[in-house]
């Protein structure tokens, strides 16, 4: 019988509900339990694929090619599991199903309503996520905050769900803000009292309250929350600010949350092994030096590059090197000055022309000055454009994404993408294999001949230009098995210059850093040392 944990949030967004859910998952995994996580997003988009990174942060891609909420990235990284399409549902996706059922006559003439038809589908999604992974514990995070109009059916569904599976089999955890008023220096519990009152108003009594605060809560504050919110005092858990996210599992464990969860869900386990996580933390917390890596992109909102930033951190963990990450605006006129301060340059994925010419300049700078470089997806495409323009004599080379009349379309739309009209879920998505060239940097980094990586693109290196690129010294070191699609390119006359058509950041874990990121950080650290010597 699967046990269920529902995490909800109060007051405001960005309190870290996703990280809290991921943390609980890691703690239960360390007790030997098989865990999965489902993110339920109350917005109307069918999936996150069509959402702007400015508003919503990055789109996280799973092995099976689902375009999902970035919280799935936290779950995968913290718990070290691979999720799929069933692990993220939205109002749009579920309504789509309900409406199709209605058209097919499946409701036998009933008046189709939010309760029970929509809520029944939501409950089916929860069961489906648990079943798909055969999890012993299924954590379900409800997006948004309690009280949002669009979230109401979700809270109703989880309220019903608990009654159906029984009190011993489901648990509600609510995350709330406990602010300190700067003028009075006082810790305030009223926000928490109010959000719990709102939750109780819709029939959900939390079992555990996670309190986001500047510092660990004093006993009297915990006592107050316990009294007003009707939870035992040991179930009021401090979630203080941390220097780094990866410290959170250790803090939560100290607060005793795992024992409480195991007890409340009648889960019996003898295992308790956090060593993999604490070993990783030790490496992170005791760096032997540091380096500065610039993400040369166009968004100045960290969530837009969440997995890339995390993967850079993992690269640092691999080498015991602290990575100072700078977000560089490729549209700035002071680009060159900013590039000079970097030990490594990363050009991430993206869409549209804005910022491209600056990305190309950053890549040229990296290539010509021996600065370690990693290009991802659009970063690979920009690297190929740069190489064609500056090394192959094709000054007007471009991608047809930016200039459909270019005389040298070195990047062009994939054939199978050309007739697609719908924007949602139609890119080349998810895992595809690539074969690596023996003796290449890629083969050395991966220590493999064949790899599988996650993709999200419509354009590719034009097959017609493979030859001229190679003749001028670019190595195509990763190819699709049919030999037609360039998956990795590298420039051997350089300490570290490599770019991938896929997104390596989605498979990187703190406990298993991705080789392309580890390679970049290792090379950047060496570059930083050389720079100091000069
Ligand atoms: N816009 C490019 C494409 O569609 C790159 C996509 C990306 O970087 N994810 O191929």
pLDDT in tens, 433-491: 999 999 999 999 999 999 999 999 999 999 999 999 999 999 999 999 999 999 999 99
pTM comes to 0.96
Residue 333: pLDDT band with limits 50, 70, 90: confident
Task: Write down the pLDDT at residue 105.
Answer: 94
Average pLDDT over residues 391-396: 97
Other CB atoms within a 10 A radius of the CB of residue 301 amount to 14
**Are 355 and 363 contacting, i.e. CB atoms less than 8 angstroms apart?**
no
Q: Do residues 38 and 404 lie in contact, with contact meaning Cβ atoms separated by under 8 Å? A: no
Does pLDDT of 205 surpass 80? yes
pLDDT score at 381: 98
501 CA to middle of ligand 1, Å?
Answer: 8
**For the chain, domain boundaries:** 3-279, 287-533
Taking the mean position of all CA atoms in its chain, how far away is CA 402?
Answer: 27
Contact 409, 394 (CB under 8 A): no
Supply the pLDDT for residue 316: 98
Q: Quick one: which of 135, 128, 129 has its CA closest to 1?
A: 135
CA 175, CA 25: separation in Å to the nearest integer? 15
Q: State residue 112's pLDDT score.
A: 96
- Tell me whether domains 3-279 and 287-533 share a fold: yes
Torsion of CA 386, 390, 396, 399, to 10 degrees: -20
Of all atoms in ligand 1, which is nearest to the CA of residue 413?
A: 10
Give CA–CA dist 467/469, Å, rounded: 5
At 476 the pLDDT is 98
Q: Which residues lie with the beta carbon below 6 Å from any ligand 1 atom?
A: 349-351, 377-378, 401, 456-459
Q: Which ligand 1 atom minimizes the distance to the CA of 379?
A: 8
- The mean of the pLDDT values for the chain is 96
pLDDT in tens, 54-106: 888 999 999 999 999 999 999 999 999 999 999 999 999 999 999 999 999 99
Distance CA 474, CA 497 (A): 10
What's the gap in Å between 337 CA and the centre of ligand 1?
27
- Is it the case that residue 392 has pLDDT exceeding 80? yes
Nearest CA to ligand 1 atom 6: 457
The tens digit of pLDDT for each residue in 4-15 reads: 999 999 988 889
pLDDT at 196: 97
Average pLDDT on 513-525 reads: 98
DSSP annotation of 89: E
Distance, in Å, from the CA atom of 3 to the CA atom of 388, rounded to the nearest integer, reads: 56
Tokens of residue 59, six digits: 């789109």
CB under 8 Å to 464, separation ≥6 — which residues? Answer: none
Q: Is 507 helix (H, G, I), strand (E, B) or coil?
A: helix
Residue 530's pLDDT band, with cuts at 50, 70 and 90, is confident
The protein residue whose alpha carbon is closest to atom 1 in ligand 1 is 351
Region 96-120: what's the mean pLDDT? 96
Task: Report the catalytic residues.
Answer: 377, 503, 505
Q: What's the CATH number for 287-533? A: 3.40.50.880
Give the C-alpha separation, 260 to 27, whole Å.
12
Query: Are the C-beta atoms of 504 and 73 separated by less than 8 Å?
Result: no
Q: Residue 301's pLDDT band (boundaries 50, 70, 90)?
A: confident
CATH classification number, 3-279, choose in 3.40.1350.10, 3.40.50.620, 3.40.50.300, 3.50.50.60 = 3.40.50.300
Mutate to test the pocket of ligand 1, among 414, 459, 505 (most ligand atoms within 8 A of CB): 459
Could you give the CA distance from residue 281 to residue 511 in angstroms, rounded to a whole number? Answer: 9
């Amino acid at each position: 019988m699967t046990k269920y944990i529902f995490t909800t949030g109060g007051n405001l967004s960005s309190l870290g509900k996703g990280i809290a859910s991921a943390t609980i998952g890691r703690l239960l995994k360390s007790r030997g339990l098989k865990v999965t996580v489902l993110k339920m997003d109350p917005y109307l988009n069918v999936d996150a694929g069509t959402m702007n990174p400015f508003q919503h942060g990055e789109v996280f891609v799973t092995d099976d090619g689902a375009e999902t909420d970035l919280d799935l990235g936290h779950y995968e990284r913290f718990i070290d599991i691979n999720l799929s399409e069933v692990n993220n549902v939205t109002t749009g996706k579920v309504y789509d199903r309900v409406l199709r059922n209605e058209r097919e006559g499946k409701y036998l003439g009933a008046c189709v309503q939010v309760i029970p038809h929509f809520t029944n589908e939501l409950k089916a999604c929860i069961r489906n996520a648990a079943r798909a992974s055969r999890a012993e514990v299924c954590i379900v995070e409800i997006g948004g905050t309690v009280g949002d109009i669009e979230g109401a059916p979700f809270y109703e569904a989880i309220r019903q769900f608990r009654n159906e599976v029984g009190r011993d089999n489901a648990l509600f955890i609510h995350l709330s803000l406990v602010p300190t008023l700067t003028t009075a220096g006082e810790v305030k519990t009223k926000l928490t009292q109010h959000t719990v009152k709102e939750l109780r108003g819709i029939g959900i009594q939390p079992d555990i309250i996670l309190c986001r605060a500047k510092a660990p809560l004093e006993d009297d504050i915990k006592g107050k929350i316990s009294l007003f919110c009707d939870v035992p005092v040991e179930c009021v858990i401090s979630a203080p600010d941390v220097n780094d996210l990866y410290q959170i599992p250790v803090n939560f464990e100290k607060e005793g949350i795992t024992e409480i969860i195991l007890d409340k869900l009648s889960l019996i386990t003898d295992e308790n092994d956090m060593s993999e996580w604490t070993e990783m933390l030790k490496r992170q917390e005791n760096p032997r030096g540091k380096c500065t890596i610039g993400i040369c992109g166009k968004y100045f909102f960290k969530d837009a590059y969440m997995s890339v930033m995390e993967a850079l951190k993992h690269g640092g963990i691999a080498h015991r090197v602290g990575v100072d990450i700078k977000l560089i605006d490729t549209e700035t006129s002071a680009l060159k000055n900013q590039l000079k301060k970097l030990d490594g340059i990363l050009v991430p994925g993206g869409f549209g022309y804005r910022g491209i010419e600056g990305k190309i300049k950053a890549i040229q700078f990296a290539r010509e000055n021996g600065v370690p470089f990693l290009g991802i997806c659009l970063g690979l495409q920009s690297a190929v454009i740069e190489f064609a323009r500056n090394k192959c004599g094709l000054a007007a080379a471009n991608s047809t994404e930016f200039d459909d009349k270019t005389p040298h379309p070195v990047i062009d739309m994939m054939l199978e993408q050309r007739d697609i009209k719908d924007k949602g879920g139609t890119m080349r998505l998810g895992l595809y294999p690539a074969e690596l060239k023996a003796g290449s940097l890629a083969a050395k980094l991966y220590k493999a001949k064949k790899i599988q990586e996650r993709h999200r693109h419509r354009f590719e290196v034009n097959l017609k230009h493979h030859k001229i690129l190679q003749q001028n010294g670019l190595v195509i070191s990763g190819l699709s098995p049919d030999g037609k699609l360039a998956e990795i390119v590298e420039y051997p006359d350089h300490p570290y210059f490599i770019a991938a058509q896929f997104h390596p950041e989605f498979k990187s874990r703190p406990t298993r850093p991705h080789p392309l990121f580890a390679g970049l950080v290792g090379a950047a650290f060496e570059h930083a040392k050389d720079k100091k010597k000069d």
